[in-house]
A and B are shown apart, each in its own frame.
Chain A
Amino acid sequence: MGSNMAEAHPVAFQWVVEAKARGAKVQHIDPHFTRTSALADAYVPIRAGSDIAFLGGVINHILTEEKYFREYVVAYTNASFLVDERYQDTEDLEGLFSGFDPETASYDQSSWQYESAGSPPEQEDREELSDEAQAHASGAGGAPLAGVTNGIAQDPTLEHPRCVFQVLKRHFARYTPEFVEDVCGTPREQFLAVCAAWTGASGRDRTGALVYSVGWTQHSVGAQYIRAGAIIQLLLGNIGRPGGGILALRGHASIQGCTDIPTLFNLLPGYLPMPSPATPDLAAYVASIRSKKQKGFWYNADAYMVSLLKEYWGEKAQPDNDFCFDYLPRIDGDHGVYRTLMDMVDGKIPGYFLFGQNPAVGMSNGRLARLALAQLDWLVVRDLVMVESATFWQNAPEIETGEIDPAACRTEVFFFPAASHVEKEGTFTQTERMLQWREKAVEPSGDQSSELWFAYHLGRILRERLAASTDDRDRPLIDLSWDYAKEHGHEEELWGEPSAEDVLRRINGYHLDTGEPVGDYRELRADGSTSAGCWIYSGVFRGGVNLSARRGDGPDGKWGWVWPLDRRILYNRASADPEGRPWSEGKKLVWWDEAVGRWVGDDIADFPDDLPPGHVPEAEAVGPAALRGDDAFVLQADGKAWLFAPNGVLDGPLPTHYEPDESPVPNRLHGPRGSPMRRHYSRPANPANPAGDTEVFPFVLTASRLTEHLTAGGMSRWLPFLAELQPELFVEVSPELAAARGLEHNGWCHVITSRTAVQAKVVVTARIRPLRVQQQVVHQVWMPYHFGPGGLATGDVMNDLLGIVADPNVQIQEGKVATCDVRPGPRPTGPALLAYVEDYRRRAGISAGGESS
């Protein structure tokens, strides 16, 4: 669901084909029938943007028909925990949870806590954080909960009206099969068939896996989509078990690495949050991300943070200067990429680096992105080809319309050719958390350089220039520990290539006294005796061996190295029952061996390996020592998986159906049409199509990938063998919509939103079909988003059609659903295009200010 795995991950899809050969059944739920659907056992249509209604329907079905795996749910989730009596649900408050403040459009989460927790002392500090900072204020390791190890009020019979299980039941009670059919347009027999297949493939003896991808993440309620999927898999007992779990397919190769060792504004390596102004020192920072009373391994966040600071500032980071904690920038607001774009348009940003990113094609509201780039003083682009973000000043659509004048454009663009992945060495980290070492196969033919080379030498030169500075502001850069080794054979070259293996060794971490690599994150200390660039990667260099280079032919037979600690399935303690025995012989993975006093099996236990299943900790224990023998979810503050999330998500402890920002139908469930917390970036250049409009922009627009191209096209549109496979932008329309709008197969048409109009070839196909939604016929259209003016396979930029609305938790844009019109023939060009779009806006009642009237 929310995934086109066969097209976006064809190599990984071989394992789905293998599973099918062994009898697995595949259900594919998608707005249109794709190459994944072609190999599925069942294809189920759905209206783009209505997934929570569907998933809520599955949850309701599981609870009503009692298909949940009860022993698993009671032992390993927070189903039995009681929620604060001040908690009120969206069912009580017409679509809002308790604690909503309309002024700030945000929630005070204190009424969402467990009954015995009281008001967490950290809450006062967190109020000062802006929403964006707050979303990640707890990092990704589970938000702190006060009072947890002192015993949470629970009802293991799951009957108390305020236990999570009953709260869940009430919350999803109205998500019936009829509701799903009405809201999603999915025929109820097909919906019920999915429920039967999913529940039938779960339990003691069988497990089912859920796969999602960017079709779920790019929504204004994206984080809640994923929460809904997690709730289902937990109720069915699929998490932590072989053949189960949730496979979150990432959108790019190695983008998992880009969040593990992040290029995100609000995260540090290993999902530690960036500090905020509310945490003036290291102690306050640590207190904000973990509570002194919580269980599990996130308790040791201080050790992970101090080790990171030692890696950054080496000798200069000492206990008496808080390990240079003050050198880190403080995040005081939304510095996400869309916010930054807006600031660029407003002339607030003089310079920008783009490494392998093509916002002129790849970002929502492409026109805004290009206008933003045109406001920069300087732009540095590193890429394999001259992507549109480097050449916007000469080939952007805004040249034609007159909005950008090449002669007057102020931006100075510096283009650096980038080495491809065969021209450099390093690791890829893929979706299954696996690090795989890649060797350099060829030397670059010219000046192409690796990111490592570029970043290292840029840093070296900046430090040289600042070496004599006495300005305090320069100290963080001057004091950096920047002594990475050079590649073997290049040690004496000033401009030599840094050694990726040395970088990996330092990411792994080592003991500062002996120089020995740490074996895993449990060896990291908060006293400055260890250094580690990313605590979750600790262990990849265990024993001084690059384990990410394993290829299955060594004595352990393993391929690559998986974080954390080479555990292949996370939370695999849950593959055994509370007594430590596998739930079934066929689904055994790790189990307790009483004779040796350890967890044994086919995977490394994601659990303290000598902690017996029946262990009960002492009352005052904290951190890992506070884990019970059945606390399978070792990074959660209470050791359990969360059906109900008291912390960590800003827009609600439970997923709730809201309509997307742009939708032709009203919210059938309750008052607020869209999510009350979705992030708008309102400005004239970013208007929204009016909600509930069935006249001007009546169709639902969705977009995703084709196998033949990669994302914004930089790696495919310039290659002849790929360009000829999918040479042109097209839009898939149903035969019914083609008839209604007079569209000819393989003829021209243009798609219009309040942002712009984009032309494309017409593909009339029954693979996309109109749905009956809330007594209306809703037409959906689909487009690939790879095309731009550059390269061999050229076309208009599809993302120019989308506006920017984002999820409040992660600032990911709602790129998967919008509304539009489709008309035959090519679009107008030049200034006539602007007039044409302005006419649509007028008819839609969108004023010059960008709000709908």
Chain B
Amino acid sequence: MSNSLFGPLDDVAGDAGHVDHPPRMGFFTDTSVCIGCKACEVACKQWNGVPAGAELDLLGMSHDNTGELGANSWRHVAFIEQAPTSPVDPPADLGMPGMQPPGAATGAETRTDFRWLMASDVCKHCTHAGCLDVCPTGALFRTEFGSVVVQQDICNGCGYCVSGCPYGVIERRPDDGRAQKCTLCYDRLHDGLEPACAKACPTDSIQFGELDELRERAAARVATLHERGETSARLYGHDPDDGVGGNGAFFLLLDEPEVYGLPPDPVVPTRDMARMWGFVCAAAVGFLTAAVGSFVGRGIR
């Protein structure tokens, strides 16, 4: 039996019931070449008709005025400023912005130069997708490309998916209540086109293609960076043994995931489902036994 809920799963689309389906497609986002231009955010909104925000406020989070992924932001570029500690003067504590992701100051001891990390975040299209597993209506489904899409004409706005996602990606749109997230441009894939964000990205930070090939490319890129002395480069979401079975959209990061606002060890909630139901059954059997036992015991005497 395949790992339908947890663990490595080779054929995600097949496991979902697709027969004769294309290879699994996904994103490899190489954040080491991201220039923070946000063309991905604009291209996504433009193509998918995602509305602009109602509030026009500076968030005070470096150049990030989008804040986070949500119903109206399916691509979000994070900016993390990392100032080195000066060997001469200790840094003055001026109550620096509290909205920094934790770990924005990590690694300073080993760093001599200022770093500005930029990364375009997106729905991970997990192998084991928490949102998909808990959706009661079937609005969320696994496509033949291995991506996860929410159907707007079925979603009833119950919100279970919001708590099911270990990354905090999916969200309900305030004005109409339905859940929204990146579709991996499902309509464009049908016509053999790449998603809008990948097409718009000028430096090829966002790369789209067959997931297997992307994983090879990513491994080679990490090796190259390590050779050039950029030893902090590592992949995130590439590993089929992780808590969500690996992502359909994985990343090359230059620091710990927490620095980027990403969970270090995301786990799909349904991983524990078998165990949880096991406990429930054991508890039920226990109660039943105790109940029967109390009657039987009386009966014999």
Contact = CB atoms under 8 A, between A and B. Distances in A.
Interface of A: 6-7, 10-11, 13-14, 17, 33, 35-39, 42-43, 706-708, 720-728, 730, 735-736, 738-739, 745-746, 761, 763-767, 792-793
Contact of B94 (A7, A726, A735): A735
B94 A738 contact: yes
B92 interface: yes
B33 A793 contact: no
Contacts of B174: none
Nearest to A720: B52
A38 B33 CA distance: 9
Contacts of B97: 745-746, 764
B38 A43 contact: no
B60 interface: yes
B202 A14 contact: yes
B118 interface: yes
Interface stretch (B40-48, B138-146, B147-155, B259-267): B40-48
B78 to A, nearest CB: 13
Given A6-B37, A10-B39, A764-B96, 7 more contacts: A14-B202, A35-B116, A43-B113, A706-B63, A707-B36, A721-B41, A721-B52
Contacts of B242: none
A765 B52 contact: no
B185 interface: no
A765 B39 CA distance: 24
Contacts of A37: 114, 116
B65 interface: yes
B239 to A, nearest CB: 25
Contact of A724 (B33, B36, B53, B95): B53
B203 interface: yes
Contacts of B95: 745
Contacts of A766: 81, 83, 114
B68 interface: no
Contacts of A13: 35, 202-203
Nearest to A727: B56
Contacts of A38: 35-36, 115-118
Q: Which of A724, A745, A792 has the largest count of B CB atoms less than 10 A from its CB?
A: A724
A465 to B, nearest CB: 45
Contacts of B56: 723-724, 727-728, 792-793
A21 to B, nearest CB: 8
A795 to B, nearest CB: 10
B97 to A, nearest CB: 5
Interface string B45-75: 1100000110011111011011000000000
Given A38-B116, A739-B94, A10 B37 contact: yes
Nearest to B32: A39
A786 to B, nearest CB: 13
Nearest to B43: A721
Nearest to B201: A14
29 contacts: A6-B36, A7-B37, A10-B39, A14-B202, A33-B114, A35-B37, A35-B63, A35-B118, A37-B114, A37-B116, A39-B35, A706-B63, A707-B35, A707-B37, A720-B52, A721-B42, A724-B52, A726-B65, A727-B56, A727-B57, A730-B58, A735-B91, A735-B96, A745-B60, A745-B97, A763-B58, A764-B96, A764-B97, A766-B81
A548 to B, nearest CB: 23
Nearest to B44: A721
Interface in B232-252: none
Nearest to A760: B58
A717 to B, nearest CB: 10
Contacts of A728: 56-58
Contacts of A792: 56
Contacts of B63: 35, 706, 726
B256 interface: no
B255 interface: no
A763 to B, nearest CB: 7
B11 interface: no
B92 A722 contact: no
Interface in B213-245: none
B71 to A, nearest CB: 14
Contacts of A723: 52, 56
B137 to A, nearest CB: 31
A792 B65 CA distance: 15
A255 to B, nearest CB: 20
Contacts of B57: 727-728
Nearest 5 Cβ contacts at the A-B interface: A746-B60, A720-B52, A727-B56, A766-B83, A38-B116
Interface in B93-150: 94-97, 113-118
